[in-house]
Amino acid sequence: MGEKQGRALVVGAGISGIRSALDLAETGCDVTLIDAAPHMGGVLSKLEYQFPSDGCGMCRLLPMADRDTCLQACLRKGLVHGGIDLMLSTTLKGLEGEAGKYRAILETEPSIIDPKLCTGCNRCSEVCPVTIPDPFNQGLSTTKAVHLPVPHAIPNIYTIDMDHCTLCGECETVCPFGAIYLPGEDRLELKIPRTLVEMDVGAVVLACGIDYYDPLSGVNTFGYKALKDVVSNIELERILSGTGPFNGSLKRPSDGQVPSRMAWIQCVGSRDLEFPACSSVCCMIALKEAVLVRKRSRQTIETVIYYMDMRCFSKEFEAYRRRAENEYGVILKRARPHSVRYDRNTGGLSLYITDDSGIRVDEMFDMVVLSLGQRPGKSVKELAEITGIGLNPLGFFEDPLSGEGDKTGVFAAGSASGLKDIGESVIHSSSASAMALKVIHGARSPHDEEREPLNGFRDVSTQVPDIGVILCQCANGPDIEPQVKSMGASDVHVSGVMAMDRICTREGWDGMLETLAEKTFNRILVLACTPQLFLDKKAAISKAVNLDPAYIDFADLGKGEPLAATVKMGLARIRYADRLNSRASAMVPTVLVVGGGLGGMTAALSVADTGFEAIIVEKESRLGGNLVWLEKDITGNDFGRLLDNTCRRVEKHPGIRVFTNAVVEDSRGGPGNYTTSLKTCDNDSKIIDHGAVILATGGREAETSAYGYGTSDAVMTHREVEQALKAGTMDPVNLNVVVMIQCVDSRNDSREYCSRICCKSSLKHALEMKRLNPELDVYVLYREMMSYGFSETYFKEAREKGVIFIRYSQELQPEVLSGTDGVMVKVHEPILDRTLEIRSDLVVLATGILPSVIKPLAALFDARVDDYSFFKAADSKWRPVDAVNGGVFACGLALGPRDAKESVASARAAAMGALRLISSKSAGVSLVTAGIKPSLCTLCERCIDSCVYGARTLDSDAGKIRIDPVACQGCGSCAAVCTNSASFLNNYLDQQMFEIIDAAI
Amino acid sequence: MEETYEIRGTNWLDSVQKLLASVFETSSVTSMLVPVRHSTTHVLMPTLVSDPGELEGADPFAPCFPLNSAKLVSKLTKKHSNEIIAAVLRPCELRALVELVKIKQATMDNLITISFDCAGAYPNREYNRTGAEGKAAEGKAKTLGFMEQRLGSKLDDDTDKQLSTSCRICTGPFPENADLCITLLDHDPGALGVFAGTDRGRELIMGKAFEVKSLPGTRADTVKEVLQRKKEAAKKVFEDLAGKTATMAGLGNYLASCVNCYNCRVACPVCFCRECVFNTDVFDYEPFQYAAWAKNKGTLRMPMDTVFFHLTRMIHMGLSCVGCGQCSNACPNDIRVAELFTAVGKGVQQGFGYEAGKSMDDPFPLSVFFEDEFQDVTGI
């Protein structure tokens, strides 16, 4: 050891692990991605519909720069990236050393089915006599002891459930490829021992996810597993899925009937005495599931969600809730059902419920869904011990506000530090990758050198195709060599068909390379099974034959399609294979950060810490933003110290330049190459070249005129209270009664979104005031307490300390009457069903958050704002901090309301996004990139309108359409709208597609 | 209601010539594109007139338009010029122009459009056969006779069997968004009205020495009645067509005599490509490919790709088809291309909630994206 390592280890291959692995691989690190399961995808492999778009879209995680390094296919099926080694059925067993220089010990489960030999032909499963509950469908359907763990994975390798296998040996006999090695009957140990691998890594990202509460571990008053029609929310997701137990039709498990009334019970295993935290995402999951059920049933199934607080705290979620209620007719009832019982008379399920006034209002349903709360992942405790990362009192990884100054090279990503929705998991994972990248930075160079420059290959672009066909044959497969040879003979462009024995083996592979090296083909087509996995092997062939990988292609023999069609389609594709001649200009290794608050500074540091340059533009005279007036957060983090530390690091950092009193004036260019002019205080213009931009323009506390604000000194906003407490001008000892009103001017028709941090701020102030003056009466008037995640514990603490929470509704708002001796607050108390009058010394208004004006700035960089004037992300789940065009990012309050910790995470994620772009080598244009034939172009500009990535511009001087090959993502919209094929998509040419279609039919 | 100005000449052509001459007088228009019957050839052709004195031969109402002039306006305006021109266009020509402007093949920046209540036209060959293109005076008389009969019968298509099908089923024979709109229906014989369809038109009309007259009160009803009749005729034609072309075999039969002359494409005002994809290397097959196809099927109809050509054209310009009927005029083998394209065009335009040529403000389909659009189609 001793050498700093350029390799990163990512533990867990769910959404978060995939995001982190791609982040690190795209920035030039070697990545080892491991997962304990025999497949990747984590919980997402079981989910098909995700809020708030009710679709998937995971492919939006795929790289946008250097696209050819990664298989461009559905990520729920699998991830194939040249820089990522995937090790399944593998766990981390030991970690020694220090940040940058770890030695990791990985243990791989023995595979009874050799993944290298299994082709997924299903013959083993056909003969297996043992039927077991299918774990993929949560036991709602059955499968065989030897089965596919996930039906859609690439590669699709069978596994054997050794707990149920009777070792009958049928599968071993029937396997045509000899892939199955069952342990001998007379001994229990397996033929293949567990393999231990030691590996040097620089940093470790722990993305091992979470587990869910098991109702059977408690008193189980809801009858889970005892009553067949009481299902968990994941079981319902499986029922709704096309690959689920009922092929996607909604039926109840007990008798296969379509339910007519369904209930969701929220907070099962959350927000109770045993687990005093909120699970953050279940409210939205329940809403989404209810909407899906309403849609599927054409609104015939009644859906009722029983909840305590509907926590739709993210930017778009309140709007989603409104849609669910108003458009889809999902019914929300505030109650915590006591139990579910079977009703003998009707065969239905009876929910025991009491309403606000304590009266029993039982209701009958025929299906009940339990929204199960989060629990720490099984491996979290062991991983904490191995890696030394801390655990919080509830057993999740600690998630400190600032990792600065920490010596560790181990970082938690995603839900492992508390359940998060997809968008936040993606942000949090990129944040972890940014920190890991900082540790690894400096040791990445060897990997860079391995990258093949694309120049220097034989120039075959103008040569007539001279195709060499490699046919991979399995020893036991049918003999198809004569057929393929005759097809080759009848094709004028094929000059050789060579049959090889199993190129998936080392001998076969080497043999193929030797054979190819002797020839001078200018196009090579390899016919083999699961060719998706050969992505990284193209480079090896390319090197052996000195041919641009663009001219090497694979065709899949394993899909069970007619051989002639497969071969001829492959030949048609390779015949027209080419690489566009245009070259992308080099990435400018600088990131412009607009805004010098906590987000902007963090983003700049993350960029600069990895060796790139960051430039901060701040319109005020000093850095700090909202941090300047904030004292601390609810967990006690000292913002003053954070501000000082961060400012000092920014000022001292050689890689960061700061312009204060400066604003962005104009910008030209696109992702990778922007030229931006700044206007500085002395009216000077400053021109800056940069490759990416991060908008960290922040937001502010909203102004208000509600509740008598402005007419009485006793009515204050959060910010004023925070400042008064910080300055010592307010002493709670002098107060007797304080009333806090939540959701002022928020979550209504004029401002729909929840500002998400106000509930936590109120809890913070209430607890602080109570600490300073325990005699003080504090009333919090709220509509929904948004103390999501672990901040729920402060809600509990506040109630224990005597803070009184009174719920009000949008229809029945409190009134504030100011008089000479303080203020009178009138509010309707729903439990007493009476109007209370509270004479108070201080009324604190939670007025919410408004974004800074960002629209004109965003427009300069071809980015947009959303309905609420925050930055509009390309996709709130999968690309939560990026604009569509891939060169513009945002963080902090510019994205939407979030607290300091979440702002820091988003800032690192934004920096990570910018780093992914500017560290791409872009030596050549990605193979699937659009081009233009100017001689055919009529300049109708429809391609410009159709390009969502802003990759096309009209050069009116030259009278030509220009394409930015970095911004182009090869979607093909431009080629589709162009009527005379002046716009084309390389490797998807008209002639090529005609020939492929011709071959297919 | 827009103010309408009435112009009375000795007949309709005299009236319209007066109006056109006045445009030269009261605006900065330097030339005007208008159908003129030429003094030497006596053939009616769109002509760019810069001398108002030459308007004597102008005959925009003749029951014939040899080509859709939108294409000519494209030539006149596609690139920037300081000349301000006016163009007298049939409503279908104006609609085609609107489409061309949207795809940046023409501009309206320095253009004044003049359109009129269109009484329809005969197929070009029909018009020529009747000998109307003989002498100038005869042509004029023919136009006036035609108008008398058409306007007198309130555009009753059943009284004139020679009228082209496209005109019989045209549901947009009245000008809507021309700068100057000429009304002929419900005026006294020989007289016409003019009102402004746009702000620019309003500026032009202000202060003109015409008699102000509100639109005849009966006009709205007449327009409604005419459109209703034409809609019914269209429905019948489309139903008949659907019966013939609903299957690939049926469509193949319908287009069986196509010889890939591409005349329909040349005549089409909204086919705007510089070089049609069917003329590019995309359809340059290798000789061995023809042989292979013939071997596969036993026979190979040549020329190939005739149905493919029409399908491609439907995809390319169906959204912009304005139903002018020039494609049928152009077909040497009398394929009724226009009905087919009008029907398909109407269908796809309906799918996108779009009407070709209706308004400059409607964005061209597929150039704008909304997250939640077409959920009924996509099912997500």
Identify the CATH number of the domain in which residue A314 sits: 3.50.50.60
What is d(CA A724, CA A718) in angstroms, rounded to the nearest whole number? Answer: 10
Task: Output the CA–CA distances (angstroms, integers) from residue A638 to A389, A632, B257, in the order listed.
Answer: 22, 5, 84
Q: Which residue has the higher pLDDT, B76 or A502?
A: B76
Residue A140 lies in a domain: yes
The arithmetic mean of pLDDT across residues A553-581, rounded, is 87
Are residues A942 and B366, on separate chains, in Cβ contact within 8 Å?
A: yes
Interface of A with B (CB under 8 A): 53-55, 492, 935-942, 945-946, 948, 977, 979-982, 990-991, 994
What is d(CA A780, CA A741) in angstroms, rounded to the nearest whole number? Answer: 6
What is d(CA A293, CA A291) in angstroms, rounded to the nearest whole number? Answer: 5
What residues in A contact B103, CB-CB < 8 Å? 938, 940-942
The answer to whether residues A773 and A842 touch, using CB atoms and an 8 Å cutoff, is: no
Are residues A979 and B282, on separate chains, in Cβ contact within 8 Å?
A: no
A250/A205 same-domain check: no
- Provide the residue range defining the domain that includes A605: 590-695+862-918
The answer to whether residues A949 and A969 touch, using CB atoms and an 8 Å cutoff, is: yes
* Residue keyed to tokens 């004028």: A492
Question: What are the residue boundaries of the structural domains of chain B, listed by start?
Answer: 4-232, 245-378
Query: Is the Cα dihedral A108, A114, A116, A119 positive or negative?
Result: negative
A280/A253 same-domain check: yes
Are residues A940 and B367, on separate chains, in Cβ contact within 8 Å?
A: no
Strand partners, A199: A104
Domain count, chain A: 7
A129-168 tens-digit pLDDT: 999 999 999 999 999 999 998 888 877 789 998 889 988 8
A820/A869 same-domain check: no
Q: What pLDDT score was predicted for residue A561?
A: 79
What is the 8-class DSSP label of residue B158? Answer: G
A671/A777 same-domain check: no
Task: Describe chain A by its helix, strand, coil percentages, rounded to 5.
Answer: 30, 25, 45
A204/A219 same-domain check: no
Residue A417 lies in a domain: yes
Residue A193 binned pLDDT confidence (cut-offs 50, 70, 90): low
A265/A303 same-domain check: yes
C-alpha torsion A505→A508→A513→A519, nearest 10: -160
What is d(CA B238, CA A396) in angstroms, rounded to the nearest whole number? Answer: 68
Q: What's CA B350's distance to the chain center, in Å?
A: 19
A946-962 tens-digit pLDDT: 998 999 999 989 999 99
What is d(CA A138, CA A244) in angstroms, rounded to the nearest whole number? Answer: 9
A216/A357 same-domain check: yes
Residue A923 lies in a domain: no
Residue A667 lies in a domain: yes
Instruction: Determine the residue among A940, A944, A984, A992 to mutate to test chain B binding: the one whose Cβ has the most chain B Cβ atoms within 10 Å.
Output: A940
Identify the CATH number of the domain in which residue A959 sits: 3.30.70.20
Are residues B280 and A54, on separate chains, in Cβ contact within 8 Å?
A: no
A257-289 tens-digit pLDDT: 999 999 999 999 999 999 999 999 999 999 999
Residue A456 lies in a domain: no
The model's pTM is 0.89
CB under 8 Å to B196, separation ≥6 — which residues?
B2, B179, B180, B181, B202, B204, B205
The answer to whether residues A284 and A320 touch, using CB atoms and an 8 Å cutoff, is: yes
Lowest mean pLDDT among A342-351, A922-931, B107-116: A922-931
Looking at chain B, how many residues does it have?
A: 380
Q: What pLDDT score was predicted for residue B234?
A: 95
Are residues A991 and B272, on separate chains, in Cβ contact within 8 Å?
A: no
Token pair recorded at residue B129:
């056969």
A256/A316 same-domain check: yes
- Secondary element (H or E) of residue A849: strand A849-851
Residue B85 phi/psi, 5-degree rounding, is: -120, 160
Closest to B105 (Cα-Cα) out of B131, B133, B134, B76: B76
Q: How near does any CA of chain A get to the CA of B100, in Å? A: 9
Going through B64-219 in order, the beta strands assigned E by DSSP cover 85-88, 111-116, 180-183, 191-196, 211-213
| Rg (alpha carbons) of chain A, rounded to whole number | 30
The answer to whether residues A153 and A42 touch, using CB atoms and an 8 Å cutoff, is: no
Nearest Cα residue in chain B from A492: B288
Model confidence at A42: pLDDT above 80: yes
A351/A310 same-domain check: yes
Are residues A54 and B380, on separate chains, in Cβ contact within 8 Å?
A: yes
SS3 string, A400-419, reads CCCCCCCCCCEEECHHHHCC
> pLDDT exceeding 90 applies to what percent of chain A?
67
Nearest Cα residue in chain A from B318: A979
The answer to whether residues A470 and A484 touch, using CB atoms and an 8 Å cutoff, is: no
Bridge-based pairing state of the strands A101-108 and A90-98: antiparallel
Going through A933-973 in order, the beta strands assigned E by DSSP cover 952-955, 960-963
Nearest Cα residue in chain B from A948: B369
CB under 8 Å to B291, separation ≥6 — which residues?
none
Which one of B281, B317, B367 has the shortest CB-CB distance to A942? B367
Q: Which residue has the higher pLDDT, A843 or A82?
A: A843
As a whole number, the mean pLDDT across chain A is: 90
Model confidence at A444: pLDDT above 80: no
Lowest mean pLDDT among A809-818, A845-854, B127-136: B127-136
Model confidence at A454: pLDDT above 90: no
Lowest mean pLDDT among A76-80, A439-443, A491-495, A940-944: A439-443
Q: What pLDDT score was predicted for residue A447?
A: 39
The answer to whether residues A67 and A986 touch, using CB atoms and an 8 Å cutoff, is: no
**List of chain B residues with pLDDT < 50:** none
What is d(CA B239, CA B376) in angstroms, rounded to the nearest whole number? Answer: 25
Which one of B272, B274, B369 has the shortest CB-CB distance to A948? B369
Q: What pLDDT score was predicted for residue B372?
A: 67
Model confidence at A666: pLDDT above 90: yes
A230/A345 same-domain check: yes
Q: What pLDDT score was predicted for residue A450?
A: 42
Closest to A908 (Cα-Cα) out of A13, A58, A23: A23
A231/A370 same-domain check: yes
Q: What's CA A794's distance to the chain center, in Å?
A: 28
Query: Is the Cα dihedral A717, A718, A722, A723 positive or negative?
Result: negative
What residues in A contact B273, CB-CB < 8 Å? 936, 938, 979-980, 982
Q: How near does any CA of chain B get to the CA of A636, in Å? A: 42
Instruction: Determine the residue among B74, B102, B104 to mutate to test chain A binding: the one whose Cβ has the most chain A Cβ atoms within 10 Å.
Output: B104
A709/A836 same-domain check: yes
Residue A907 lies in a domain: yes
